[in-house]
Structure 1
Amino acid sequence: MSDTNSIGLHSGSASQLAERLNALLANYQIFYMNVRGYHWNVKGENFFELHTKFEEFYTDLLAKVDEVAERILTLGHQPVHAYSDYFRLASIEEEKSVHDGEACVRGVVKGYQTLIELQREILSLASDADDEGTSSLVSDYIREQEKTIWMLNAYLG
């Protein structure tokens, strides 16, 4: 009996990666809804600019939710899909009634910082497990999100 999964990764490593990817999935889902809320509720002189930008962000986040869930399935595990699990696993907290544009942008920066921290942890685990698929996925996310943080911080001044 083999100790590897269907894609040739050590079963224990795949299980550990799937667990951390489920935490990432939970954080993406909560962050997605926060950014959706910013999009809907932002007010102020930069409304049009931020409303459009937040839509761009949440559209990208939704695509990543699907990619992370499918990676978990590829590893041979089940992605969580209940909000009760998301709240239990996520370190990003839901935000309610945020209207101020600057506060919304700061919330986006904070959310991306949290995702990057978790993705770096996953990147290290994936590297140790010789899991190039997961490494590539989260490495691309990190690169994109670091640039987004830089741009948002430039926006904030």
Structure 2
Amino acid sequence: MKNLVGLDKEKTKVLAEKLNELLADYQLFYQNLRGFHWNIKGRDFFELHTKFEEFYDDAVVKVDEIAERILTLEVEPLHTFSDYLKTATIKEAKGISGGDKAVEVVVDNFATLVCLEREILALAGDANDEGTVALMSDYIAQTEKTLWMLNSYLK
């Protein structure tokens, strides 16, 4: 059976479940970034304060894009923090104000996201879901470059 956009409903159901995991991870990532932005201290304050804001602005756009993609696949996106906390692999980062530690957490969070994005990319390809393939391809390219830059910052 096909859904509204002509894709197999069973395959897109599995795909939407993974997208909901990504949505939950991005919500926790977003909140971690907000905390780092607010609480960062030290010699790199100005640079990191601005960078974390850039990252959380991007994350909030991705949250919306992912939720809308889930809806396009005719599944309901998660939308409560209790569901996000139960579903996400990314964990809350609390009490971090040092720049290097915050960047290390951001690197770990991005690494988690890119792994899940690759998994979703494969599922989307199998489902012939070009819309999700394009979305994940863009996310992966951006995340890989960001990981390279953040790792360079830490060295």
Q: TM-score, normalised by structure 1?
A: 0.98
Equivalent residues in 2 for 1:105-116, closer than 5 Å: 105-116=103-114
Equivalent residues in 2 for 1:92-131, closer than 5 Å: 92-131=90-129
Q: Report deviation, 1:84.
A: 0.6
Q: Which residue of 2 aligns with 1:86?
A: 84
Q: Which residue of 1 aligns with 2:14?
A: 16
Count of aligned residue pairs for this structure pair: 155
Q: How far does the alpha carbon of each residue in 1:76-121 deviate from its partner, in whole angstroms, 9 at most, with x for none?
A: 1100000110011100000111000000111111000000000100
Runs of 4+ in 1 over 6 A off after TM superposition: none
Q: Which residue of 2 aligns with 1:53?
A: 51
Q: Report deviation, 1:43.
A: 0.4
Percent identity between matched residues is: 57
In structure 2, runs of 5+ residues without a counterpart are: none
Distance 1:53 1:30 in 2: 17
Q: Report deviation, 1:32.
A: 0.3
In structure 1, runs of 5+ residues without a counterpart are: none
Distance 1:109 1:30 in 2: 14
Q: How far does the alpha carbon of each residue in 1:109-149 deviate from its partner, in whole angstroms, 9 at most, with x for none?
A: 10000000001000000000000000000110000000000
Q: Which residue of 2 aligns with 1:32?
A: 30
Q: TM-score, normalised by structure 2?
A: 0.99
Q: Report deviation, 1:4.
A: 0.3
